[in-house]
Amino acid sequence: MTVGDVADYLNKPVSWVYSNHKREGIPFKKVGQSLRCRPADLDRWLDEQGAE
């Protein structure tokens, strides 16, 4: 998933994702110059957020 895909999935602006991905621990990987996230990793991260 691209940053835009993740923003849509989370119902957040793209700017929020870029500004907060490190602090929030969104599981992005760098692919070249781009950030990418696997859907399964994002779902797992979301599940973990509900446990806190």
Domain spans of the chain, in order of start: 3-50
The per-residue pLDDT for 52 is 52
The per-residue pLDDT for 50 is 81
pTM (global) more than 0.85: yes
Cα separation, 51 vs 28, whole angstroms: 20
Q: Name the nearest CA neighbour of 26 among 11, 13, 8, 38.
A: 38
1-52: per-residue pLDDT in tens? 999 999 999 999 999 999 999 999 999 999 999 999 999 999 999 999 986 5
Q: Where are the alpha helices (DSSP H) in 1-52?
A: 3-10, 14-24, 39-50
